[in-house]
Amino acid sequence: MLNIGSFKTKTCSGIGRRSFLQMSGAIPFGLGMSGLGAVTADEVDDVVARAKSIVFVFLWGAPSHLDTCDPKPDANSEYRGPFGVIPTRTPGVHFTELLPKLAQRSDKYTLIRSHIQSAPGHPDGGTVALSGFEENPKPVKPNFGSIIARHRGFRGKLPPFFSIANGVVMDGGRRIEAYGGGEMGAVYDPFMVGASETGEVNIPALALMDDVNPLRISDRRTLLQKLDAVPRSLESAKFRDWNRTYQQAYGLITDPTARQAFDLTRESKQTRQRYGQSVFGQSALLARRLVEAEVPYIQLNYSRHVEAITPGFEFGWDTHLYNFSLLQDQHCPIFDRAFSAFLDDIYDRGLIDDTLIVCMGEFGRTPKINVRAARDHWPQCYFSMWAGAGLQTGRVIGESDKNGEHPVTRPITPLMVGTTIAELAGVDSQARAEMRVLDGGRVIDELF
Amino acid sequence: MSCFRIMRQPSLVCLASLVWLVCLSVTVVQAADPIRLTHDGRMKFTPVFVDGGGSLTYVDFENPKVFRLRTMNWESKETKVIHEAAPAPEFDPAYSADGNYFSFLRATGGLQVSLVIRNRKSNEEVLIPPEPGFSGYRTPAIAPDSSHMLFSFANNFGQDIFRVEMNGQGRTALTGAKGINVWPSYSPDGKKVLFTSTRDGNYELYEMNPDGSDIKRLTDSPYQDIRGQYSPDGKQIAFVSHRDGNAEIYIANADGTELRRVTRHEERDDYPTWHPDGKHLVCVAERDGSHDLYLLPLND
């Protein structure tokens, strides 16, 4: 089932969707997405772009590096944690027993164990992780995806930057500042889509079009009047942003091939099962479909919220409490299955050479177990996984100290992450300078 | 440094190989095919029988924001949410042997989890709030004679098993806060408590007297041995072990001897609980990426 805005069309029956298609054909705008012009490309040179698509898997809330990909079995009990370690396919490299599938696939990605960043909290740490810069002083720098979106422009049938979650990523009630375009403007914000654990895809922007939903308006003249009236009903200052969202949403509805990217029912039952019946699993499958649709940048969020067990919030990786039980019961089984399936799929479908996959949280968690027998925030050391775009795989870059507290090799910063992503997407140093983004950033040379 | 790691790993790899060989020799005790009890595929946790097996309560990960307590009528297999109006996650259900008490956990704020003890006859509730800040209880267990109960709670950088009266008073730490101590389970006669602890490094099963004395280790594996439960006659224990590479269910004698493997599947088998007849287990099994409750018939 595809949930567009606040109405649903049953793809198995085809009735709603077919009706909508027939109706949309009568709408006189005749707008192809290429004609919108709301997001125009800067200088684009595809020749140097090793990655047509980037998938940034954001483990929002910050997973413990010691309990996942950087275990310290020889540390003392104040640090070590309760999990056993298992060998990976990479000689000498071990994970905890919580990630057996990813351990078996370590030849498909390169692991970095020497990340650091500067912000200790989620809102500010999230902004640094997604933009490379702290949120203050203002203005906020753009999300890596917004930079790629501006560089590539709106050339396909789909928007150039997607964020997959059931809403904008939040810490409590606060939106992460670098969720979108920042100082470049909201026109470079991501297009939001969400998936349920059973694969229903939700496109919140299409809720804007409820008043012009052909399923509700059978009289064509009324429909046209409604369409004409929408801009006037909005504040002029907000109109441009809204107009861009509206146009994108309109394009999705009116273009059947664009819309197919969101229809997970087109996947075989076996494929959907491989990703697992979870929000993250089905979101990862949606990300793979967006890669096939050649969307330039996809931010695949593990959850919308960071909070692990808080009324009204999705379960993120912020495990100040119950760290060990939440990881073993819920987070790691979901992540291990879904991300492994995603890697397999990207490889098996021959997409890996043109796709860059980066997986990481905003920081790590305290190596020393806290007073609640859990782990708190730790921006001084954490990990990431990199695959695709011609990068070598099956390696470990960087190393943390004996307790996982600090890198003992050259620290890798979020600005370096963003710069490397941009470089692989064809946004070279000249383009970055012209756009005035990622200033001072260096590429992670060790990856090449 | 990678060379340093390689030098240190052979013992671990050898140990893992040894465990694998031991696993291959473990007897499989599942008598017949599992019977699937639920079909929604959502994640589930901690099933527990109540009212002599008349119903089964479990935790349903209903949506990305909420754990809900759900009960299944054992005869009809129909399920319903226990607290329809619950606005927050509820989990870790436990019942007294006579069914008169029901205890569970309720999220009452940001990373704040309270312990609820309800008298099912009078509907009176005792709510034990967590400490200020991030704080919460885990895994309550009620004594067979309903005189007191146990739960796990953070204590001095570890997690201790505490004992309280049913009115929530008289809190006493039992396990000395050495490592993480969790998942207490009373033997049917109330003379022993089975629990999981990391006191010796990783999660292993231990037993102790109800006052915390005479702690004995029952399992020894480099991987997790967790969630132990006594059989209705007290002679066996069922638990989850990752010793074969993923979560599988095992049975052993109550003293930890004669290990027998119950499940063998590349996906997860977890949260075993004994049916009161002692001839079946119910567990949460992941199959084709979905999680459902299954009934596992056992050999005699």
**CA quadruple A208, A210, A212, A213: dihedral sign:** positive
Q: Give pLDDT tens digits along chain A (448 positions).
A: 444 432 233 322 222 333 333 333 322 222 333 333 345 565 554 446 899 999 999 999 999 999 999 999 999 999 999 999 999 999 999 999 999 999 999 999 999 999 999 999 999 999 999 999 999 999 999 999 999 999 998 877 899 999 999 989 999 889 999 999 999 998 999 999 999 999 999 988 776 665 555 545 445 556 556 656 655 555 555 556 666 666 777 777 777 888 889 999 999 999 999 999 999 999 999 999 999 999 999 999 999 999 888 888 889 999 999 999 999 999 999 999 999 999 999 999 999 999 999 999 999 999 999 999 999 999 999 999 999 999 999 999 999 999 999 999 999 999 999 999 999 999 999 999 999 999 999 999 999 9
Domain ranges across chain B: 22-297
Cβ B186 vs Cβ B140: under 8 Å: no
- Identify the CATH assignment for B22-297 out of 3.40.50.170, 3.40.50.1780, 3.30.420.250, 2.120.10.30: 2.120.10.30
Query: Residues B242, B223: contact at Cβ < 8 Å?
Result: yes
What is d(CA B91, CA A254) in angstroms, rounded to the nearest whole number? Answer: 45
CATH topology for A42-198+277-447 is Alkaline Phosphatase, subunit A (3.40.720)
Average pLDDT, chain B: 90
Q: Which residue of B has its CA nearest to A334?
A: B289
**pLDDT the model gives residue A27:** 29
- In the block, tokens 């960043």 appear at A117
Closest CA to A438 of A190, A131, A135: A131
Q: Does A335 touch chain B (CB under 8 A)?
A: no
- From B49, B83, B113, B98, select the one nearest B280 (Cα to Cα): B49
Half-sphere CA count of A241, side-chain side, radius 13 A? 13
Give ranges for CATH 3.40.720.10 in chain A.
42-198+277-447
Backbone angles phi, psi at A307, to 5 degrees: -65, 135
Q: Which of A83, A166, A373 sits opposite B158 (nearest CB)?
A: A373
Q: Which residues of A touch B159 (CB under 8 A)?
A: 373
**Cβ atoms of residues A44 and A153 within 8 Å:** yes
Give chain B's radius of gyration (CA, Å): 19
Residue B177 banded pLDDT, cuts 50, 70, 90: low
User: Chain A contacts of B292, Cβ < 8 Å?
Assistant: none
- pTM of the shown model: 0.89
Q: Give the pair of three-digit tokens for residue B54.
A: 């008349």
Angle between helices A236-254 and A220-232 (to 10 degrees): 140
State in Å, rounded, how far the first CA of chain B is from the last one. Answer: 52
What are the tokens at A83? 């999990």
Round to whole Å and give the CA distance between A285 and A195: 9
d(CA A298, CA A163): 6
B244 and B23 in contact (C-beta within 8 Å)?
Answer: yes
Q: Is A429 on the interface with B (CB under 8 A)?
A: no
The mean pLDDT of B109-134, rounded to a whole number, is 95
Q: Please give, rounded to a whole number of angstroms, the shortest distance from the CA of A415 to a CA of chain B.
A: 26
For every residue of B100-116, DSSP letters joined together read -EEEEEEEEETTEEEEE
Q: Which residues of B touch A330 (CB under 8 A)?
A: 43, 61
Please list, residue by residue across B107-140, b when 16 or more beta carbons sit within 10 angstroms of its beta carbon and e when fewer do. bbbbbbbbbbbbbeeeeeebebebeeebbbbbbb
Contact B195, B228 (CB under 8 A): yes
Answer whether B289 sits within 8 Å of A94, measured CB to CB: no
Q: Tell me whether residue A136 is exposed, middle or buried, using C-beta atoms within 10 angstroms of its C-beta: 0 to 12, 13 to 18, 19 or more.
A: exposed
